[in-house]
Amino acid sequence: MIYFTGDTHFGDPRVLRLDRRPFFNMVEHDAALIRNWNETVDTKDEVWHLGDFMSAKTGDCAELLARLNGRKHLIIGNNDPATTTNSPGWESVQHYAELRHNEHHLILCHYAFRTWNQMGKKSINLHGHSHGRLKPLPRQYDLGVDGQELRPVTLEVLLKRKRVFTGGGDAVVE
């Protein structure tokens, strides 16, 4: 399976305040995100992380990556320091990627696009950065954990969800 996620911000206390994540402290936050990731992703799965993985103050990125299931790729976000991007735990690290997955052309970047490659041919833009606060275009999805029940998600699950924009981000109606 291939999973997508982003904006985990491991070890970054700002997400508790700014994104109102439901945790008392970062230890609780990080433990929950690691548990959710490993409950969702198998060791043989592939995960594309769409940026803002962890704070530079958190510790060793390679140690954290070793605790997370799957083969991991990083799409670099604005809060990813060199200690994250240079970690040996990533299969690949880049600012942008295009993938073919289940007959879909996927455009991956940390930032949402207003237009993207093969948009007129039904390609799909997957991004992070906006923490569910940006009104999406058709075939555009914010993969940050804030809008994905704090866990990685498959493309199939995303495409099955009905989205309703609430003014503060996507609301998911299952």
Please report which helix (H) or strand (E) contains residue 82, including its range.
helix 82-85
Average pLDDT over the chain, rounded to an integer: 92
Residue 129 pLDDT: 95
Residues 6+ apart with CB under 8 A from 58: 10, 11, 12, 30, 64
What SS3 string covers 103-150?
A: CEEEEEECCCCCCCCCHHHCCEEEECCCCCCCCCCCCEEECEHHHCCC
CATH number (domain holding residue 112): 3.60.21.10
Give the residue numbers spanning the domain of 55.
Answer: 2-173
Tell me the average pLDDT across 72-83. Answer: 97
Report CA 121 to chain centroid distance, whole Å: 24
Percentage of residues in the chain with pLDDT exceeding 90?
Answer: 82
Distance CA 78, CA 47 (A): 19
Amino acid identity at 57: K
**pLDDT given for residue 135 in this prediction:** 87
- Confidence check: pLDDT of 169 > 80: no
Confidence of residue 174 (pLDDT cuts 50, 70, 90): very low
Nearest by Cα to 133 from 43, 7, 47: 7
| pLDDT computed for residue 161 by the predictor | 80
Q: Is the pLDDT of residue 1 over 50?
A: yes
Return the higher-pLDDT residue of 11 and 18.
11
Which of 153, 145, 150, 158 is CA-nearest to residue 104? 158
Number of domains within the chain: 1
Q: What is the pLDDT averaged over residues 124-150? A: 92
Per-residue pLDDT, 132: 84
Going by pLDDT thresholds of 50, 70 and 90, the confidence category of residue 162 is: low
Residue 57 burial (CB count, 10 A): 10
Give the per-residue pLDDT at 32. 98
Residue with tokens 């007129």, as numbered in its chain: 120
